[in-house]
Structure 1
Amino acid sequence: MNPQLAVVLAAVCFGSTGTALALGPDAATPFSAGLARIVVGGGLLGAIAWMTSDRRLPLTPVTVAWILVGALGVLAYQPAFFLGTEVNGVAVGTVVALGSAPVLTGLLEWVLTRRPPGLLWVVATIVATSGVAVLSGLFDATSAIDPVGLVGSLGAGLSYAVYTLAGKALIDRGMSSRGSMGAMFGAAAVLGAPLLLVADTAWMASVPGAATVLWLGIVTTTVAYLLFGAGLRRLRASTVSTLTLAEPLTATVLGLLVLQERLAFSSVVGLMVVAAGIAILSLGGRRQRVPATG
């Protein structure tokens, strides 16, 4: 599969998360749903990686360190993201988290690899991030931004950058894309499982609750990160991070079609700008590819 298409399809899966929660039980909380998503999806990813990947790759101290760093990034993302949206609102929290992730990924990749992102990535990231800002209604916000919420949103962006770069580092060290995603998310599932003991999980016992958990675990995590890893295997981490800005685009379209939400004119403009940024990177993506390593 074309690697750009794989990442965009992964972002489409990510973008269904909000709609799935909206259609699920009213008692479902972002904290418990986020944990269930990691435990179910991460556990399944780990099992798939164990059954299908080459297990002869030695687990060196460096490899184990990257797995743990990636797992911690996975676990840190959800609470940091929800802190930002709770304190500063969904619009500001979303645009800071999703908008900062590609930039932070590109900068960290530059530091780690000493290879600056190309001009195509810079242009596409500026365009797509601007579209996310318009789409989220950031320019309509009139309240002051709380620094605590801002730190949370930036922390979410940094967490995303960390586990994306950790996954890429594992692939570059010879691990398959399935093995990379499975190792990180499997470890995150093990670390996150005890936290379910302090979360409100009663809503999961109902049929709608179980269906919500399965969708979040299988579609938005297992399937999504298999596609994400396939793209990460052939593309730079900075490119992958920008392409996943298709997530808010998907969430908005699903809100319109499934939840029958209304779109303001600014949201329509935002959708078009995000799509333009993704198209710039996708159509010129051959210059951004790197050789397959696993």
Structure 2
Amino acid sequence: MSQHISAQAAACSDAPTGPSTPSGPRPAPGGTSPTRPGARPALGGPAVVAAAVLWGTTGTVGSLAPSGAPPAAVGAAGLALGGLLLLLSAPGARTLPKRGTGSERRLLLLGVLAVAGYPVTFYPAVARTGVAVATVIALGSAPVLTGLLAWATGQARPTVRWACATGAAVAGCAALVLGPLAGGGGTPVDCGGVVLAALAGLSYAVYSLVGGRLIARGHPSGAVMGVLFGGAALLVLPVVLGGDTGWLLSPRGAAVAGYLAAVTTFLAYRLFGHGLRHTTAQTATTLTLAEPAVAAVLGVAVLGERLPAASWCGLAVLGAGLAALALPTGAGRRRR
């Protein structure tokens, strides 16, 4: 798990996660009302979960980086390379700031700062209070903060279904990640680290809401993700170039950085952007809690890690919460 979180912090900044809701008249099944016109929640949920599955591979892949490669630099390299790839490959990404209105340019700037802010706050949180606690606070607070911010800004009101599913998913995530600490010996909780982890969750919520809001206004999801992550790539580039870059020039280091860039950043965020077009930010950020579940399963299957019974129970609760949110209801299908 610890390897997963280190790489995830910068590669998925991450992240998450999960954006805004537009101003359409129809309620969104499983989320909070309303989604963008023409939205198809049955397509949005699977796309977000697919992105989360890809993000969940970052820990396993990151563990293959050359020994001595700084985890922050490994993650930042994935974000920098993948973000630039998103910017250069998405049609309309480079002209979006020019074509947008003044308020949209301000939203883009806020989103870029939020994407770059996730690793800046998450890594120090890990250093101060440990991987498990920082992960639960950052990833667990993101969907809750997204829902509250969307409600506060008048974008959508949380539904009972979303609240129940999110509560179950967050509780399951906490049991999954904190289960190994049940026997004691974990890193003491540090108040400063808790605040930093909460700020990481806030960063994830903000860039998700910004991305969703811009997509709801009719901008292509690829262009929006390209600008947000391309801009953030430039901001985190000093993290990559500021230290020893020898690991990046080795075949193994280049392969790891290439995977993080092409798969967990470029492909995953294209899927995430597509998901945001068809579902609400609140639902999307909750569904990305599939990420630690995937990372845990890969840790057991590939890296030979062991999970206690509490973690397996948490995994089951997490899966149930995500399934309740991802599967459209009969009412939701009738409204479409």
TM-score (norm 2): 0.81
Change in 2 beyond 3 A, CA 1:203/1:275: same
Distance between the aligned counterparts of 1:131 and 1:269, measured in 2? Answer: 8
Distance between the aligned counterparts of 2:143 and 2:53, measured in 1? Answer: 17
Query: What residue in structure 2 maps to residue 261 of structure 1?
Result: 305
After superposition, what is the alpha-carbon deviation per residue over 1:128-180, rounded to whole angstroms, capped at 9, x for unaligned? 00001100126726764211100111011001001101101111222111111
8 Å Cα contact 2:92-2:223 kept in structure 1:
no
Amino acid corresponding to residue 216 of structure 1 in structure 2: L
After superposition, what is the alpha-carbon deviation per residue over 1:97-117, rounded to whole angstroms, capped at 9, x for unaligned? 111011011111111225211
Displacement of 1:216: 0.8
Query: What residue in structure 1 maps to residue 147 of structure 2?
Result: 106
Amino acid corresponding to residue 109 of structure 2 in structure 1: L
The equivalent position to 1:170 in structure 2, one of 193, 214, 225, is 214
How is 1:66-105 mapped onto 2 (pairs within 5 angstroms)?
Answer: 66-105=107-146
Query: What residue in structure 2 maps to residue 3 of structure 1?
Result: 44
Amino acid corresponding to residue 201 of structure 2 in structure 1: G
Bigger mean CA deviation after superposition, 90-99 or 109-118 = 109-118
8 Å Cα contact 1:67-1:166 kept in structure 2:
yes
Distance between the aligned counterparts of 2:237 and 2:177, measured in 1? Answer: 32
Distance between the aligned counterparts of 1:42 and 1:286, measured in 2? Answer: 38
Bigger mean CA deviation after superposition, 191-200 or 23-32 = 191-200
Distance between the aligned counterparts of 1:184 and 1:56, measured in 2? Answer: 10
Distance between the aligned counterparts of 1:90 and 1:106, measured in 2? Answer: 25
How is 1:186-201 mapped onto 2 (pairs within 5 angstroms)?
Answer: 186-201=230-245
How is 1:1-294 mapped onto 2 (pairs within 5 angstroms)?
Answer: 2-50=43-91, 58-137=99-178, 140=182, 144-284=188-328
Bigger mean CA deviation after superposition, 217-226 or 190-199 = 190-199
Q: Secondary structure at the match of 2:90?
A: helix
Amino acid corresponding to residue 178 of structure 2 in structure 1: G
Displacement of 1:243: 0.3
Distance between the aligned counterparts of 1:286 and 1:235, measured in 2? Answer: 16
Distance between the aligned counterparts of 2:64 and 2:76, measured in 1? Answer: 18
Change in 2 beyond 3 A, CA 1:287/1:223: farther
Distance between the aligned counterparts of 2:74 and 2:59, measured in 1? Answer: 11
Distance between the aligned counterparts of 1:195 and 1:29, measured in 2? Answer: 10
Bigger mean CA deviation after superposition, 133-142 or 82-91 = 133-142
Amino acid corresponding to residue 71 of structure 1 in structure 2: V
Distance between the aligned counterparts of 2:124 and 2:310, measured in 1? Answer: 26
Bigger mean CA deviation after superposition, 217-226 or 142-151 = 142-151
Bigger mean CA deviation after superposition, 80-89 or 219-228 = 80-89
Bigger mean CA deviation after superposition, 129-138 or 244-253 = 129-138
Bigger mean CA deviation after superposition, 122-131 or 90-99 = 90-99
Displacement of 1:274: 0.7
Distance between the aligned counterparts of 2:288 and 2:332, measured in 1? Answer: 15
RMSD over aligned Cα atoms: 2.4
8 Å Cα contact 2:122-2:196 kept in structure 1:
yes
Displacement of 1:57: 8.0
Distance between the aligned counterparts of 1:240 and 1:269, measured in 2? Answer: 23
Displacement of 1:55: 6.1
Displacement of 1:192: 2.5
**Structure 2: 5+ residue runs without aligned partners?**
1-41
Displacement of 1:54: 8.8
Displacement of 1:53: 9.4
Change in 2 beyond 3 A, CA 1:239/1:28: same
Distance between the aligned counterparts of 1:62 and 1:13, measured in 2? Answer: 32
The structure that is helix-richer by fraction is 1
Identity of aligned residues (%): 44
**Structure 1: 5+ residue runs without aligned partners?**
none
